[in-house]
């Protein structure tokens, strides 16, 4: 039933999946895949970007301060989940068990409790993101927030310690491709 629900929800776009890939997308295994020059367009609310076609996109809806759609893009074929906490919610992802060459990019429409983030200066660059570390986690990441097309967005990027130059360049290209649609 779970596999059928994933297929029906559009997370798995191909009808002819191998059993290994289906197990990977369900989180039973984690396999990092290489970036290619082929790309696929993704859309989140009123922005769009290009991701390597070999990387997986997992779309999600509202959650915590996410007030609109979002997408997690990764070179790891796995269903990402949020940790369960007893006194509220978190926008962090469970990263345990990922290979050391993973990359994970979270692009989401977001509601900021105080103030509005600055207007985006396109193209975006990872070098202008700030470094962050969630409490209780050794998983540092880069983040930025911005407003565009009358909406607010947050982008967070995790890069494993063994990610290749090609994977890092693919992350940079994805970030630079973000633009209003």
pLDDT in tens, 120-129: 999 999 999 9
The predicted structure's pLDDT at residue 124: 96
Same domain for 102 and 128, yes or no, is yes
The predicted structure's pLDDT at residue 109: 86
Same domain for 91 and 151, yes or no, is yes
The predicted structure's pLDDT at residue 105: 96
Same domain for 4 and 92, yes or no, is no
Domain that holds residue 165: 32-180
Same domain for 78 and 142, yes or no, is yes
Please write the tens of the pLDDT for every residue from 35-84: 567 889 999 888 999 999 999 999 987 767 667 788 999 999 999 987 78
Same domain for 9 and 71, yes or no, is no
pTM check: above 0.85: no
> How many folded domains does the chain comprise?
2
Same domain for 68 and 8, yes or no, is no
Over 63-122, what HEC string results? Answer: ECCECCCEEEEECECCCCCCCCCCCCCCCCCCCCCCCCCCEEEEEEECCCCCCCCCECCC
Q: What CATH number did the domain enclosing 143 receive?
A: 2.60.120
Same domain for 139 and 74, yes or no, is yes
């Amino acid at each position: 039933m779970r596999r059928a629900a994933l297929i029906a929800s559009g997370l798995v776009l191909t009808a002819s999946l191998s059993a290994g890939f289906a197990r990977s997308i369900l989180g039973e295994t984690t396999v990092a895949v290489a970036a290619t020059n082929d790309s696929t367009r993704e859309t989140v609310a009123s922005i769009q970007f290009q991701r390597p076609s070999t990387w997986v996109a997992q779309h999600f809806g509202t959650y915590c301060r996410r007030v609109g759609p979002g997408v997690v893009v990764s070179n790891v074929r796995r269903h990402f989940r949020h940790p369960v906490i007893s006194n509220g919610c978190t926008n962090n992802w469970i990263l345990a068990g990922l290979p050391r060459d993973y990359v994970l990019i979270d692009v989401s429409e977001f509601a900021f409790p105080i103030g509005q983030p600055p207007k985006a200066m396109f193209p975006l660059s990872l070098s202008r993101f700030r470094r962050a570390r969630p409490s209780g986690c050794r998983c540092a990441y880069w983040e930025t927030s911005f407003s565009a097309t009358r909406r607010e967005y947050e982008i967070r990027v995790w890069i494993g310690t063994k990610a290749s130059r090609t994977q890092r360049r693919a992350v940079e290209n994805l970030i630079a491709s973000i633009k209003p649609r």
